[in-house]
Structure 1
Amino acid sequence: MTATAGDTRYTKLNQTQVDVICTKHERLRAMKPGGARAVFAWCDLSGLNLSGRVLNDADFTAAILMDCDLTNTVLDTCNLYCADLQLANLSHASMRRADLRGASLRGANLSDCDLYEADLREGALALPDKQAGLSYVEISMRSSEATYANLRGANLERSKLSGIQAMKADFTDATMKSCKLIRANLKQCIMDNVDLAGADLSGADLSGASLRDAVLIGAKTDMWRTSQTDMTGVLTDKPQGTDVTNLPYGQMLRDHALWVDTLGKEGTPSKFDNADLRGLGSIKGLNLAALSAKGAVFYGLDMRGVQLQGAHLEDADLRNCNLAGADLRGVRMARARLDGANLEGANLGALKIDATRFLPADLRDTRMRNVNFTDSDMKLARLDGADISRSNLQGAMMNLEALEHTTCVALRGRIAS
């Protein structure tokens, strides 16, 4: 059953009534007099504006929220059981641990929405009866629906989506680590660059879907259906290129460090081009200046404080790497992928060659979506064609002119120019 405006079971509310209820809820949260929990159960709020409201723990059981403006609204741990959210705008909303069992999200905009540990499994709906109370129960379970929904960049980590109907939904760049998608209907979905590490896709139907550059490390895929599914560039547990565990990498790294420390008089520069370096686990704090690792896979490595001045990392996969405090002056990263990486406090400035020559960091055509650039130095970095959409630039030092040549949708934070 889908909720319908005008149904006699529902109480129709206007904007003024909703504003009063929201204000009382916020007063309750602030422990001020006159506060009361917001209860919108079995209410029709279709088309109303709740944007920016803080409504943690509010009750929206079976509520009609069709075409509502819920942008930037805080709905953490809310009860949205069997709610009708069709065509609602939930962009940048927070719905952490919300109960969305049996909810309808058909055509909703959930781009950049935080749905961490949200529950979107199926649910049965009990309807009120004046004489007998909650006597009538829907004969069949309602599956949560997200057909045609926009979930680009959403955080669905550890969420429960088993059995969800999400045909033709757009999950591009979404984080879906350890997500439960058992028997989910994901036909013709766009799941490009989605991180599904540790997800359970057992019995899921991804026929005709696109999973280009998706991460499936540690994912369960028993009896899933992938007829005509585009799996180009998918990263799995299987090593891509040369497996670093088959190389004497310990000696290679020691030789490279010696080569750097002695300015080339001793040791040998290491070369890890097209190697899968995930087996290293950590290269934290190592001095790997001028390292050559073109097209290498670094995914998820601990690289805090690493020194990679002047390193060649063109076309490398550095997604979800921790590069906090790394020295990346003059690094060559053209066409590399750093989606989800942590570059807090990293130095991406220019490398001084001599008194008159400087080598800027080359980040041209680099994909750096949802990256933490907090307090990083990118003043002289070359960013032509780079994609830094959804990234946090709080306190980052950047040349605003260089920023004009990037793709920068929904940036967060204040840039220190």
Structure 2
Amino acid sequence: MVAELPKADWTQREDLAALVRALGADNIRWVGGAVRDTLLGVPVSDVDAATPFHPDQVISLLNEAGIRTVPTGIEHGTITAVLEGGPVEVTTLRRDVATDGRRATVAFAKEWREDAARRDFTINALFAHPETLAIDDYFGGLGDLDARRVRFIGDARQRIREDHLRILRYYRFQARFGADLDTEAEEACAELAETMKGLSRERVAGELLSILALPSPAPTIARMHERGVLKVILPETTQAQIAALEALTSHEKMLAARPDALRRLSALLPALPHVAEAVAARLRLSRKQRAHLSTLAARSDADAGRPKALAYEEGMDAARDRLLLAGAPVAALDGWEPPQFPLKGGEIVAMGLAKGPDVARLLQTVEAQWIEEGFPDRARVEAILSNLK
């Protein structure tokens, strides 16, 4: 079993070495995703650190070393060290004092194990010494990593009662890393699924979209549906939509299309704009996300036969997503730029037609035929206009 962190590019960063010198090697540990992902051999995006020092002391020591700090979550013990190679969150060791399923009241701690015990999963509670790279594994996280098993620290039901969002976090980590299902975790998530109704919609949306953005979320989403978890946050989804997501992800892989959470969310919903709008409102999605989801819900069987017309009418991103949802090819859009309609309303008025709604209607009719004919040149547009006058 691995006892120390393999050397990686990030472990040899000079700016991280300066951070370690400022706090002292025995007073800082790398923790969380960077440790886990390095052990799994996957790219590391963020580096987090833990320390027994109080946040004020961390700020003072880093300032003395010339390292700029930002008090990003100082009330919870977190400050951000602004480093050349990327920011690092440094968090004071903590223990939970009280929890209500939505938030926790914490107190600062002094022991590494005490901080590890309040984390959610064993694979997220691994600490690495910054110089020796020796790993402290208090709850069997290394064994779980080897087995690709996502397991709660301690009693799964108790950990979920502390923070109901851990249900969705479990499925996200299971979709990303898991292979060997943990029976206790699966049963606890199903049993306590209804507790998610008390969570903020933004937190639910964030986790759901994170799951859907993963390379292969369909098996996990199917299991969430089977265990009655998905219906709590997405009651609109039926078995037919689960199959639609599976078909979509398979089609994406065949075309090497990048994963997209909103496209996949659309697959999980009936193709009805009013349903998409209701779900977007419930999940508190941004205005841009709501508009895109509604556009995807307006998809039809005709989309596959008119890719360029679709791109002109709805935009390139919406067209690609609707074609993928239809199981259609998208190659016709590669390198293609939607043309500009070569006729203005003023030109029609100059031809003798009075200003007013008739001009707008005529212009729309000509444009519609121009689109359906595959965007011919101006001479053809003038011919179309002449035939309609």
Q: By the TM > 0.5 criterion, same fold? A: no
Higher RCO by CA contacts (8 Å cutoff, separation 6 or greater) = 2
Scaled by the length of structure 2, what TM-score is found?
A: 0.29
User: Relative to total residues, which structure has the larger helix share, 1 or 2?
Assistant: 2
